Amino acid sequence: MKKIKLTSLSHGSGCGCKMTRKDLSVVLANIPEAQDPNIIIGTATADDAAVYKIDDKRAIVQTVDFFTPIVDDPYCYGQISAANSISDIYAMGGRPLFALSIIAFPVNTVPASILEAIVKGGIDKAKEAGIEIIGGHSIDDPEPKYGLTVTGVVELDKVVRNDRAEAGDVLILTKPLGTGIISKAIKSDDAADEDIKEAIKVMSFLNKGASEAMVEAGIKAATDITGFGLLGHLYGMLKASGAGARLKASSIPTIKGVWKYAKKGHIPAGTKNNLAYVNEKIIWGSSISEDAKYVIADAQTSGGLLISCPKEKKEKLIALLSKANCLAVSEIGEIVEDKENRIWIA
């Protein structure tokens, strides 16, 4: 049987195939916000998931996420997509309860065994997170797509959201950047096996431990880094919180192999869109190269948590994140007072 290259079947890769923030804002501009008084977090702040109050102590956390193949191994694709979907629950400080599958698949051109492997990957990753996938919906589609809608629960006094960052907070990132650029190299048949394995490791790693650590440390502001990249999601946090940020480029963790692919021009469209969208808000230091700008803006799939941590809680949080064996525990900058939501990067 001829080997199927999954990434060749789609126009984009992973979370990099998101609609741009600019395009999405045009669509949503005239859509009224929901008015149900039990909605704690809806669309107003573009947060990672919806939060809906169900009683005086708890709320439901609900998210949906799916995307086209990010790697060619179907089982790994399923694992990555599931980890990415569940991460939205973790980013809100919630605990996932169960999930449903979303499947689009070219049933007449790709063997069913490929879809079976994708689904098994998703199921196994969900089990690792302590939940079951208990149903779903599928359609016939020329482009493969897979993801989950995930239901979770959170205590009302422990909700973590993107609009609570405050000047003086330190910014801590829990995974390295670079999966978008490496996925572009994979799609172009130019990625080394060791770099593919490292990217898969990063993308399939659950943010469970990072989430539990930030909740235990009493954190109130965070977001997960996915298709809009570090800069896009940070800007969303700053806009929602009415603040700015300063980053130290040398402190931002990256996958070792990403730099050679950036130099070779493997820059995804999603990464270019991210940089174009936020660039007017960025004050770049003179030492920041064009390659570095793209790496810092890279469209991530199943990235880490970006946590805005009060300085008095930093020591405890870092200890808890380290104990959870997060792939990175990197202090990359701080929140500053700035009503224009600018980001200084030196």
Residue 252 sits in the same domain as residue 331: yes
Output the domain CATH number for residue 198: 3.90.650.10
Contact 311, 249 (CB under 8 A): no
The sheet carrying 343-345 orders its strands as: 221-224, 305-309, 170-173, 330-336, 244-247, 343-345, 282-284
Number of structural domains (the chain) is 2
Q: Would the pLDDT of 287 be above 60? A: yes
Higher pLDDT among residues 4 and 164, named by residue = 164
- Say whether pLDDT at 342 is over 70: yes
Taking only the tens place, the pLDDT of each residue in 240-286 is 999 999 999 999 999 999 999 999 999 999 999 999 999 999 999 99
- Residue 136's domain comprises 6-158
293 shares its domain with 250 = yes
Would you state the pLDDT for residue 2? Answer: 61
Averaged pLDDT for residues 150-177 = 98
Q: Which one from 15, 17, 76, 326 is the annotated catalytic residue?
A: 15
Q: Are residues 206 and 73 in the same domain?
A: no
Residues 175 and 151 in one domain: no
Residues 199 and 334 in one domain: yes
Are 207 and 314 found together in one domain?
yes
pTM (2 d.p.) = 0.95
DSSP 50: E
Q: Which of 42-51, 95-104, 132-141, 299-308 has the lowest mean pLDDT?
A: 42-51
15 in active site: yes
User: pLDDT, tens digit, for every residue of 212-233?
Assistant: 999 999 999 999 999 999 999 9
- pLDDT at res. 221: 98
Report how far residue 262's alpha carbon sits from residue 239's, in angstroms, rounded to the nearest whole number. Answer: 29
Which pair of tokens denotes residue 3? 């080997």
* Position 186 in a domain: yes
Least confident range from 13-22, 135-144, 185-194: namely 13-22
